[in-house]
Chain A
Amino acid sequence: MNDIVVEARGVVKNFGALNVLKGIDLTIARGDVTCIIGPSGSGKSTFLRCINQLETLDGGYILVEGEPIGVKVKNGRVHLQSNAEVARSRANIGMVFQSFNLFPHMTVLENICEAPLRVKKESRSIVKNRALKLLDRVGLSSKAGSYPASLSGGQQQRVAIARALAMEPRLMLFDEPTSALDPELVGEVLDVMRGLAEGGMTMIVVTHEMGFAREVGDHLIFMDDGYVVEHGNPRTVLESPQHHRTQQFLAKVL
């Protein structure tokens, strides 16, 4: 069981009367890159947000590294997790948003150091060292003292990736990380993600970049209307989609 990072079974999520996730099953092994594609509104973001509890489940369960998300089992009974426990499990999962969400009142370095200092309470020198190494890795060593507003979208997103990595997560979630970027800036972010994948990071990536899914992805999932419609090897799914709705979607985007 140790090499399974995410195990989702029958995940259901409703927003009021709106049934957004209708029973998602998914298993993700350590080191795998799983890309999720699908039309807008199909529930991709919602599923990602369920994994780190930005949304609560209405049905089914998710295990991350064998630990149930949102609940705990004690003496044969299921209890809700406390806020502290929720925060602790989130600390092991990195998330990168479409809109970057860097903290505008902090410099790049402060953005990266904030969570390790406040959440993990690590020592300042260790955190700063790691942050500078991460900045080097995303190619932004010269921007440590800059404020987010002075960076391009691509640079901001690379900082956001470094910020998530500073917590040394065991799983990284990406929600359309390049969708808000000008086309010429998409490449620099995808390059960082490719490097991360080669380094063995377990990643779930919601994306419209079919080239990235084909080259970097180990699995491709097509979601539509709250269901996983098709799941397989990226090349196979992209080149010979089995399901009618996958064919329709790919015909539109490719």
Chain B
Amino acid sequence: MSSINTPTDELTQDDAVDRSLLLERPRQLHIARWITAGIVLFLVFVVAHSLITNPRFEWDVVFGWFASERLFTGLLRTLQLTIISMVVGIVIGVALALARLSKNIVVAAVASFFIWLFRGVPVFVQLLFWGFIAAIYPRIIIGVPFGPEFFSVDANTLITPFLAAILGLGLNEGAYMSEIVRAGLISVHRGQTEAANALGMRNLTVLRRIVLPQAMKIIIPPTGNQTISMLKTTSLVSVLAFPELLYSAQLVYSANFKTIPLLIAASLWYLLMTSILSIGQYFIERHYNRGSGRPVPKWDRERVINAFRIRNRTQETSK
């Protein structure tokens, strides 16, 4: 009882604080959090109620067309556009990034100009230009400039709506991808190139075997975001009368006047596809962050549980 650690001796008896109470930690209740959550849940309920009870949404029509072959064909064209435009964009992006890092100032300057132009003009306007290409160049001629021509074709025959879409989306994407690729390339330490050069490797080998694999860590995550964004941007191609997902829906509602249900059906497909890509993106980022010490973003489920868990203050602060 006379141990120096226990506060029971005469000197502390008059103290205002009852130390035995301090051994138990009070709980943190997060009252404000519960109230806010309640308000938000109520708002969600109001919106959901209106979605279900408002007959003008015509959910039976929505789901009927959602599963229809016409929208599904449009969806496949959307996916096709997304993939091809991204591939074109990545190839052009790598080329532009290398050009901008080139020691040849003419090459670097032309690449910078290209990027400035294609990033500065809205992609919607670019798509219109490609659609109206025949107004600028009625015939497309392959040959020696100012010399003989080998091959000549009507622009409207060659530049189909599909090709115009790929050109518009791909070139625009290339301008954005070049910045992403460039950031990746310059993130690789100069010593890596020097070590590879010192071993006798040629520049192309150094790029392919040493620099690009390391740059991927920086390049891949934003490229995933670009792909998700591209999936939605393809809807602009409807202006070229190419029957991708949105234009397929428009074709249907221009005939049956079920405008809102068809727009919802198309939106559901876009949501489903972007969600799938986002999940893929999560795993890709986790893969490329491994070992780099950067934390991987957690699934929202865990964050929700953690936020409302009632815990001891000590646990909270020590976490």
Contacts and interface: CB of A to CB of B under 8 A. Distances in A.
A89 to B, nearest CB: 8
B210 A115 contact: no
Contact of A115 (B191, B192, B199, B203): B199
Given A54-B194, A149-B291, A90 B210 contact: no
B199 A91 contact: yes
B202 interface: yes
Nearest to B214: A105
Interface in A79-113: 83-84, 87-88, 90-95, 97, 99, 101-105
Given A105-B213, A149-B291, A95 B202 contact: no
A118 B209 contact: yes
A52 B291 contact: no
Chain A: interface size category: 20 to 34
Contact of A54 (B197, B200, B214): B197
A90 to B, nearest CB: 5
A147 B200 CA distance: 22
A16 to B, nearest CB: 16
Contacts of A92: 200
Contacts of A126: none
Interface residues of B, number: 19
Interface in A190-217: none
Given A54-B194, A149-B291, A104 B214 contact: yes
B162 to A, nearest CB: 38
A24 B197 CA distance: 24
Contact of A101 (B192, B203, B209): B192
A99 to B, nearest CB: 6
Interface string B192-216: 1011111111110100011001100
Contacts of A147: 291
Residue from the set B195, B199, B213 with the largest chain A CB neighbour count within 10 Å: B199
A87 B191 contact: no
Contact of A90 (B198, B213, B214, B291): B198
Contacts of A160: 195
Given A105-B214, A118-B209, A149-B291, A87 B194 contact: no
Given A103-B210, A104-B214, A118-B205, A87 B192 contact: no
B194 A167 contact: no
Nearest to B210: A103
A103 B199 CA distance: 12
A158 interface: no
Contacts of B203: 83
Interface of B: 189, 191-192, 194-203, 205, 209-210, 213-214, 291
Interface of A: 52, 54, 83-84, 87-88, 90-95, 97, 99, 101-105, 114-115, 118-120, 147, 149, 160, 163-164, 167
9 contacts: A87-B201, A90-B197, A90-B199, A101-B191, A101-B195, A103-B214, A105-B214, A147-B291, A163-B199
